[in-house]
Structure 1
Amino acid sequence: MDVHALHDGWTLRPLAGEVPPEITAEIAAAGPLPATVPGSVHTDLLAAGLVPDPYVADHEAGLRWLHRTSWEYRTRLDLGAAPGERVDLQFDGLDTVATVSLGDRVLGRTANMHRSYRFDVTDLAPGGDLVVRFDSALEHAEATEKDLGARPRAYEHPYNAVRKMACSFGWDWGPDLQTAGTWRPVTVQRWRTARLAQVRTRTELTGTTGRVLVDVTVERSGLEDPAPLTVRVGARDLTASVELDAGTTSASVVLDVPDAPVWWPRGYGEQHLLDVEVELRAAGAVLDGRRLRTGFRTVRLEETPDEFGTGTTLVVNDVPVFARGVNWIPRDHLLTRLDADRYATALDDAVDAHCNLVRVWGGGIWESDDFHRLCDERGLLVWHDVPLACAAYAEEDPLRGELEAEVRENVSRLAHHPAIVVWSGGNENLQGHEDWGWKEQLGSATWGEGYYRDLFPSLLAELDPGRPYQPGSPSSPDGLHPNDPDHGTHHEWDVWNRLDWTAYRDRVPRFCAEWGFQAPPTFATIAEFLPADQRSSTSPVFLAHQKALDGNGKLDRGMAPHTGVPTGFDDWVWAAQLNQARAVSCGVEHHRSWWPRTAGSVYWQLDDCWPVTSWAVVDGAGRRKPAFHALRRAFAPRVVCVAPREGTAQLVLVNDTGQEWRTRVRVRRTDVAGSVLAETSVDVAVPARSVHLEPLPLRGARDEPVVVDADGLRALHVEAPDKDLAWDPAPWTTATTTVEGGFAVRVTAHALARDVTLTADAALPDAVVDDGLVTLLPGESHTFQVRTAGRDGTGLAAQLRCANGFGTRG
């Protein structure tokens, strides 16, 4: 098969809608715009300098006219099929409502960005103008909603009436930009006799023997007499094949692999992967082929009822795994700007935070091949929602047919990835039906339950029977509330919405699949989108980048009991960031302290898709917020912390390694300046993959910190909030030196310094600091390593911040 990318020579012009006159005039004068494929209208207009960056200032609002415009992409396609040659045009992704024409013929109409489309153009030689018209997805959704009846949803636009990325229409952390364009590759494919129309590969592991199961669907060209075919599967020096007679279009091939290399999640073993080659042959010649990497492992969800309710524990290769996870949204709202390198950087953030699981959230996309390949290689387990979120969905056509088609295509595309361990029916749709007033609005109308309880599990039983399925996130066994913390998976949002973060400790969920606390992005990212005259937490531009309902009010109410609410903007940002970090530590440590009763903590969220105040620990520019360091410390394989339990402070040691942990724990009670008032030590042995708790051996007054150290790990416990403590507000001296690749900033404390953090990006926007939230006792030092291309490090030390500044002497 000859495959040629059709990415050059495209142009773009508007067809309908309220296009600003300056853009119309520019195109009238200069002709259609050069267009990039893959790409989108937004990225093409940005490249042409015709619209401002929607991520900066309040420009997002000024681009709402794009919601109701139509656009034409055009290129010249020269065809010429040799005798017996079939020519196809393949679109891997069209976003979203498109009409594809070649010359005078309409090849097809589409309304689903989550599918690919293929057109036979053999008889259209010599070719002509290839035109893709994109109409308003919003108007299409409104028309579909009118036909099928309105269904409840969490946001303004009827995103639940069109198969497009839900968050394209805006979310409580994302912009409302509603992209359009050819968002995945376009190719011309020339072939003879037959091709592999679909290859679905799965693996099984029994004892030490691995099994590769390959199901293929073959399309014959129709241009010659059907011929016998052979499907051959090879891996290492092993092969297996099956013959297809002239009337057969599908086959299954099984390849057994003795002494199979086992794939493990990170922290549990190596990520052994196997290269597999699938070939379609006729008369000894290779007609078509696929190459992929897969792995052998077993996975199940342990959901046996117990005295606490019904657990949800991932068991990989017969080993129970505590899910140290993060929720994943698309890393960039303008999806076509994502490439393998950006995915790798983002997933390395998860790796550096000691995560072993990433949940692909249901308001985004079926994630890319690059994403899943990188997760396989890094040992990051993947929990993947079907792209349905926070809405009721009609179960009638055309939506039902579109959903079935996309599930079939994407599950088949992704089934070979060992990292994927759970398919889920979607995000918060079951809970929404119970809690958000939908029942009264719906009456007898369908709302999606048939997808979650019937269609999806039936399709998965056919396509990918070895992988666990959940009807949604959250979900509980039949007959129970879907968000019951004692059963199944749980989303914890009461804390952010109405409680102090210490209330995370009030529930013991079996598997907490979503929970989080907000903070603004880093200082450098704020500077990139916020004009100098808008540097206020209440300025219109800053609030345009705060999408959560009463978001700043919740931030202020969250800070008030701990740091107070500073009046200066920089102090307010730092206080909010510190409070988010404390919330992250509290939640993760609480969940981990209850293992194995609690079997997962999946933080919302890892990343952002643009610069915004949100729950992310890595902001929209890819910079790590202080909460990232809290997450990394709390998700470390071994953790020391102090947690209240049954009215008393407990010393907690978490050992999520495969070896016993023997350590001597040093416990010191100090005054607020860090002078030691009492000291003791405890010898502890923590078995592999387990948790040790015992009463904290030293207790002090509310304003007396207790410092706990073990094997280089430190925890500080103090009952009084920072705002009520007489911290030394300037507890250090500093020294900055130039090192290869950047600078080293050494901090030496002369008084207790809590949560010392170097916000180096405020001085050098490209700066990356290796650590944060470090607590020092008098006489101790810590060196922050700063990686930067900047040559002037004189201002770095001025960007040191800590909790002390919020005390009564701050």
Structure 2
Amino acid sequence: MAHWEDLHDGWTLTGAGEEVAATVPGCVHTDLLAAGRIPDPYLDRNEHELRWIGETDWRYATTFDWQPDDESNVDLVCDGLDTIATIVLNGVEVGRTFNMHRSYRFAVKEHLREGKNDLTITFASAAKYASALEERLGTLPRAGYPEPFNFIRKMACNFGWDWGPTLVTAGIWKPIRLHSWSVARFDEVRPLVTVDGSTGRVEVLVRLHDDEERVPVRVTADIGDLTASLDMAAGENEASLVLEAEDAALWWPHGYGDQQLYDLAVTLDSDDGEALDSWTKRIGFRTVELDTSADELGSAFTIKVNGQPIFAKGANWIPDDCFPTRVDETRYRARLEQAKEAHLDLLRIWGGGIYEQDTFYDLCDELGILVWQDFLFACAAYPEVSPIVEEIVPEARENVVRLMPHPSLVLWNGNNENIWGWFDWGWQSSIGDRGWGKTYYLETLPSVVAEVDPTRPYWPGSPYSGTFDLQPNVDEHGCKHIWDVWNQVDYTHYRDYVPRFVAEFGFQGPPAWSTLTRAVHDDPLAPDSPGVLSHQKAGGGNDKLDRGLAAHFTMPSNVEDWHWLTQLNQARALTVGIEHFRSHHGRCMGTVVWQLNDCWPVTSWAAVDGDGRRKPLWYALRNVYAPRLLTFQPRKDGLTLVAVNDAASPWSGTVTIERRSFAGEVLARFEAQLEIAPRATQEVQLPAESAAVAADSELLVASADGERAFWFFGEDKDLSYPPAEYDLEVDGQSVRVTARTLLRDLSLFADRLAPDAYADDLLVTLLPGESHTFTIHNAPKLSAASLVKPVVRCVND
């Protein structure tokens, strides 16, 4: 009877004169940290003192018991080794690895002995390996990052990024096991899931690996009460079984329908009925396509699920920790539920990270979150020669096979920004006639996807316009990245673009106050104190934050006001961009903000910080990604109200637009009828007297069916805000705020009361006489006396 044996116990780690107990799966940094040999790399400037770890060779060793059995084969299966590893069993080298992103299997029965067995895995320094390979092959350009991450198949952001530290890891980062088996085992199981009318169809493609004693076997596939079986003669290694489910319930992204999932089980038995191997996954019946058809504007970039065009309300996903083994199911679920609660229906797994663990995709299936998966190439030219070129097909094939059962996975993307770099970043002169990755993106990867999983679309890169005859980052074609706004101009310039799909755009803000002060202990704390700057990885990042503030606010004079206003400005920036893009629904069919999450405590573009706390941007995303949205938009013909209906039902009703003074007086009033089909928009042109430029103490308010929009006729620094006045009522964990004056972007920062506390709402604008009740989670006993600045903030406080 085939069986698996985990080899996760009894490991030690040695290197640089250190010897500590090792946790497997894990990595060197977490083992040294657990043993008290290094300070926390995430605190203060510790990262810079720990570079030696990535420049050191490390040795993992364990001793395990093994008893012979009746199985004719025993394999050592390494699901993930990071990265340059030599595996030695009982003094015999059984294998070497060069790729963090794939698994390895080594036949080891002849090297095992009854009783005690010694296993060692030595990891050569990934940093030194990559540098040596770069020196041998010749430098290829990277997007401003000094470390040669493009010369090794490893998580690129380990080498530092403009939001991440340089912490070059090593270790056994996924399970390692012995697999004892006879006759045959599954080498691949590939379910091709399609839908024809009301019939869900699964073609299960099986490939076997046999031993010398191969006999006839039977493969069986089951979904519920549906079964298909096939006998395979000795020497047959590939089979196809088809299951058809009449009236199958479809899988949909959330907001479009239910997430119906089915258990698909595939078993392998010998001719005498002995169980040889098994495979089980959850699948969902749905179709997916990427519509890139030509139209009068250029060409579309629209994801369709079950024939339904989806306006993607998304965010980019990076590894949630520099040390991925610390991200367990609980943490994945917390982050993905935060995404869904903010109405995100798509996450793009960015190409400088990892193919995430199975749990991530399982949860996306369950929660109805679409996944756009990059192949792991980012912001650099990649060698197309040995030893890199030999790794690409095995890595790609394994991960396509592993992930293809997941209905949430809807798009494979060849790379992040590499085609853009070749066109526009001055790479061509330094690359010359050498390969730089183009063959991977236009030939190798699409061939793998077409062969292995033809049910899903592939796109060569982001950004990309669909052809090398066009610049890759244009509005009219394909997917676009918008970074000149953060880097060069004010965020109101998002309105200069109407892309078909924007796959990256973002604006920075610091982490939550409790996250910042846990990670940085500068005294005094300041925006430019050493620890804060060490947790700001973007080139000129603080200068760009200041430039962004100066366009809208009086510059803050202390760190607490700086923290509040830069967080607020981040939320404002993305609100402006997303409202503009959503107002062009139909032409633009997706916004994927940079980024949902962080891998450590840092000033960054994330909506959820490195400690898992929601920044004001998260609340802004929840508001601006709501299925129904009212937004004032400046158009060529004047100020226009756009009502966006991304719900499944029509939106009918009356919208009321009022011009008010900051004191609350209604100066003008206008009504219009809304009649909006599902997944559509309606524009309401404002009368001249309502939209005319007003005094610095007036605003517009639009209301319809509980949705509201505000328009202020100037920048905050130029408006005559009244000093904030309000009344507080505390009832348990509820705080009711009643405005006596205008309160703009009222926020309650509960983490200043207790690190785990948070409010259910933020960035609430109230007119005089209006009230709002905040619910505070995980807070100690509340009192009105504790709810003062800086716990309670608004723009005009």
TM-score band, normalised by shorter chain? over 0.9
- For 2:695 and 2:650, the matched residues in 1 are separated by 34
State the one-letter code of the partner of 2:433: S
Question: 8 Å contact 2:505–2:593 — kept in the other structure?
Answer: yes
Tell me the distance in 1 between the aligned counterparts of 2:275 and 2:141.
Answer: 52
Q: Which residue of 2 aligns with 1:379?
A: 368
2:161 to 165, 171, 190: 171
Amino acid at match of 2:41: P
Deviation at 1:702, TM superposition (A): 4.5
Question: Which residue does the alignment assign to 2:435?
Answer: 446
CA–CA distance in 2 between the matches of 1:747 and 1:258? 55
Alignment-derived partner of residue 278 in structure 1: 266
Post-superposition offset of 1:666? 1.9
Residue 249 (structure 2) aligns with = 261
Which amino acid is the alignment partner of residue 464 of structure 1? D
The SS at the match of 1:543 is helix
Q: What displacement does 1:663 show?
A: 2.0
Q: Is the 8 A contact 1:536 1:569 kept in 2?
A: yes
- Conserved? CA contact 1:524–1:762, under 8 Å: yes
* Bigger Cα displacement from structure 2, 189-198 vs 230-239: 189-198
2:730 alignment partner in structure 1: 736
Q: Which moved more, 1:41-50 or 1:393-402?
A: 393-402
Equivalent position of 2:337 in the other structure: 348
Alignment match of 2:492 (pick from 478, 502, 507): 502
What is the aligned partner in structure 2 of residue 726 from structure 1?
720
Could you tell me which of 19, 28, 32 is aligned with 1:45? 32
Task: Tell me which residue corresponds to 1:336.
Answer: 325
CA deviation after TM superposition for structure 1 residue 802, in Å: 4.4
Q: How far apart are the structure 2 equivalents of 1:797 and 1:205?
A: 57
The structural deviation recorded for 1:150 is 1.5
Write out aligned runs for 1:321-720 (5 A).
Answer: 321-478=310-467, 479-697=469-687, 698-700=690-692, 701-703=694-696, 704-720=698-714
Secondary structure of the corresponding residue to residue 775 of structure 1 = strand
Aligned to 2:75: 88
Summarize deviations over 1:212-232 as a string: whole Å, max 9, x none. Answer: 12122212233xx32001111
Distance 1:3 1:524 in 2: 44
Name structure 1 gaps, 5 residues minimum: none
CA distance in 1 between counterparts of 2:524 and 2:72 reads 62
Q: TM-score, normalised by structure 1?
A: 0.95
How far has the Cα of 1:208 moved from its partner?
0.9
CA distance in 2, matches of 1:473, 1:50: 41
Give 1:764 deviation, angstroms. 1.5
Give aligned pairs, total: 786
Distance of 2:516 and 2:743 partners within structure 1: 26
Quote how far apart the aligned CAs of 1:490 are: 0.2
1:128 is aligned to: 117
Deviation (angstroms), 1:85: 3.5
SS at match of 1:133: strand
Deviation at 1:710, TM superposition (A): 1.4
Equivalent residue letter for 1:358: L
Counterpart in 1 of 2:9?
A: 8
> How far 1:647 moved relative to its partner?
4.4
Is residue 675–residue 778 contact of structure 1 (8 Å, CA) maintained in 2? no
For 1:797 and 1:666, the matched residues in 2 are separated by: 34
Offset of residue 681 of structure 1: 2.3
Corresponding position of 1:104: 91
Stretch of structure 1 that moved more, 526-535 or 446-455: 526-535
Show CA shifts across 1:634-665 (max 9, x none).
Answer: 00000111111114111111100111101221
CA contact (8 A) 1:383 1:420 kept: yes
- SS in structure 2 of the partner of residue 533 of structure 1: coil
Contact 1:757 1:772 in 2 (8 A): yes
Shift of 1:801: 4.3
CA distance in 2, matches of 1:591, 1:489: 13
Give the whole-Å Cα distance in 2 for the aligned partners of 1:180 and 1:265. 37
Q: Distance in 1 between matches of 2:163 and 2:325?
A: 19
Q: Is residue 560–residue 790 contact of structure 2 (8 Å, CA) maintained in 1?
A: no
Q: Distance in 1 between matches of 2:508 and 2:235?
A: 60
Give secondary structure in 1 for the equivalent of 2:186.
strand
Contact kept, 8 Å, 2:522 with 2:530, in 1: the verdict is no
Name the SS for the 2:443 alignment partner. Answer: helix
The CA distance in 1 between the partners of 2:350 and 2:712, in whole Å, is: 36
CA distance in 1, matches of 2:133, 2:722: 63
CA contact (8 A) 2:507 2:574 kept: yes
Distance 2:435 2:792 in 1: 53
Letter of the aligned partner of 1:4 in structure 2? E
Question: Aligned partners of 2:227 and 2:77: how far apart in 1?
Answer: 30
Q: What CA deviation, in whole Å up to 9, does each residue of 1:563-621 have, x standing for no partner? A: 12201100011111111111111111111100100000011100000000001011000
Q: Is the 8 A contact 1:755 1:803 kept in 2?
A: yes
| Contact preservation (8 Å) 2:217, 2:232 | yes
Secondary structure class of the residue paired with 2:50 = helix
Question: Partners in 2 of 1:642 and 1:770 — Cα distance?
Answer: 25
Going from structure 1 to structure 2, the CA distance change for 1:799 and 1:664 (only over 3 Å counts) comes to farther
Q: Which residue does the alignment assign to 1:307? A: 296
Q: Aligned residue for 2:179? A: 189
Give the secondary-structure state (helix, strand or coil) at the position aligned to 2:40. Answer: coil
Q: Distance in 2 between matches of 1:702 and 1:377?
A: 51
Measured in 1, the distance between the counterparts of 2:638 and 2:222 equals 60
C-alpha distance after superposition, 1:488-517 (max 9, x if no partner): 000000111111100001110000000001
Aligned partner of 1:250 in structure 2 is: 238
Q: Write out per-residue CA displacement over residues 707-764 of structure 1, whole angstroms, 9 at most, x where no aligned residue.
A: 11111111110121111112123221212221xxxx2111110111111111111221
Deviation at 1:83, TM superposition (A): 3.7
Query: What is the Cα deviation at residue 168 of structure 1?
Result: 0.6
Residue 699 of structure 1 aligns with an amino acid whose one-letter code is A
After superposition, give the CA deviation of every residue in 1:497-540 in whole Å (9 maximum; x if it has no partner). Answer: 11110000111000000000100111111110121504100111
Q: State the secondary structure of the residue aligned to 2:751.
A: helix
| Aligned 8 A contact 2:54 2:170 in 1 | no
Following superposition, the deviation at residue 482 of structure 1 comes to: 0.9
Equivalent residues of 1:672, 1:725 under 8 A apart: no
SS at match of 1:804: coil
SS in 1 for 2:201: strand
- The equivalent of 1:67 in structure 2 is 54
Are the counterparts in 2 of residues 195 and 280 from structure 1 also a CA contact under 8 Å?
A: yes
- SS of the residue aligned with 2:691? coil
Can you list the C-alpha shifts for 1:233-286, whole angstroms capped at 9, x where unaligned? 011111112221111222222212221111111111111111100000112222
TM-score normalised according to structure 2 size: 0.97
- Is the 1:745–1:797 Cα contact (8 Å) retained in structure 2? no
Q: Is the 8 A contact 2:348 2:372 kept in 1?
A: yes
Q: Distance in 1 between matches of 2:684 and 2:656?
A: 14
* Structure 2 counterpart SS, 1:358: strand
Tell me, in whole angstroms, the C-alpha distance in 2 between the residues paired with 1:346 and 1:242.
Answer: 42
- Contact kept, 8 Å, 1:766 with 1:788, in 2: the verdict is yes
Tell me, yes or no, if the aligned pair for 1:736 and 1:797 is still in contact at 8 Å. no
Within the candidate set 212, 222, 227, 1:234 is matched to: 222
Q: Distance in 2 between matches of 1:99 and 1:538?
A: 44
CA contact (8 A) 2:190 2:401 kept: yes
Q: Give CA deviations for 1:745-804 in whole Å, capped at 9, x if unaligned.
A: 111101111111111112211112111111111111101100015235552344454443
Specify the SS of the correspondent of 2:33: helix
Structure 2 residue runs of 5 or longer lacking an equivalent are none
| Bigger Cα displacement from structure 2, 356-365 vs 688-697 | 688-697
Q: Give % identity.
A: 49
